[in-house]
Amino acid sequence: MAKLTEKQANFVKAYVETGNATEAYRRSYDCSRMKPATIGQMAHDMTKHPKISAIISDLQKTRLDDVVMSAKDVVRNWILIASADPRELINHRRVNCRHCWGVAHKYQWRDDDELNEEIARAIDWNATCNARNKKPRKEVPDGAGGLGFKSNRAPHPDCPRCHGEGTGDVFVSDFNNLSPAAAALYNGVKVTKDGIEVKMRDRDQALLNLAKWLGVHKPDTTNVTVNNGPVVTTPQEVLPTDPIELAKFYKEFISKT
């Protein structure tokens, strides 16, 4: 550690503590004027620095013998997962259609480049159709709806095309800026042929684990008869859903942690 600068040493300590290079970089350097992507790249570069990576490796090996996750840590992680809002990771939202904010509700373009590309595409298509005497031909855009379309803008309530409903859009968050609860819920990304799948931990299971730990989830019994034989009493798990019990659950958790 003596071979490192003060900020590099702070980065190493924070990285070993959190296991998150981006968070360690934020704790060690002034990132107030840096973009999230830049912070992530700088943090990644730090972990690849020969001296830093060697020290991190040595500290991690030493720390493995001392790391023990306490019951308190486990419960705290359960409460984070159970209380997380999945919409922080991925969300379906309603956004404006191309006619919502266009002039006289005509088709609105992002900028001149997009409009000119579509004009050129239509002209080329029509020239090919004329040469081969084929239809249909494309109408060349005139840009009457104006420029400035923004894909994340709210729908126009009086739009005659979408009637104020806009269009559906699936938005995946920047995972470098999650709340602690959402970060605990996040369980990786899977790239499939249909796109990106955001994996999450089981919130219901985390809540059930907490309920059992607090004693809210208590065993009940039910009587059953097997093959006309004697009555057998078997345990049956019951999870109360009463708001008072749930309030009690959170109150007890806070007092115990």
* Alpha-carbon span 213 to 82, nearest angstrom: 14
The candidate with the shortest Cα–Cα distance to 102, out of 27, 159, 25, 162, is 159
What is the rounded average pLDDT of the residues 105-110?
A: 95
pLDDT value of residue 243: 53
pTM of the model: 0.49
DSSP state, 4? S
* Alpha-carbon span 245 to 209, nearest angstrom: 15
pLDDT value of residue 244: 60
* Alpha-carbon span 167 to 188, nearest angstrom: 28
**Residue extents of the structural domains in the chain:** 6-67, 95-171, 204-256
Percent of the chain with pLDDT over 70: 78
7: left (phi over 0), alpha (psi -120 to 50) or beta: alpha
| Number of C-beta neighbours around residue 256 at 10 A | 11
DSSP state, 216? -
* Alpha-carbon span 63 to 61, nearest angstrom: 5
pLDDT value of residue 163: 95
Q: Confidence band (pLDDT; 50, 70, 90) for 236?
A: very low
Sign of CA dihedral 106, 110, 116, 119: negative
pLDDT value of residue 234: 43
* Alpha-carbon span 200 to 183, nearest angstrom: 10
For 130, residues 6+ apart whose C-beta sits below 8 A from its C-beta are 137
| Number of C-beta neighbours around residue 238 at 10 A | 12
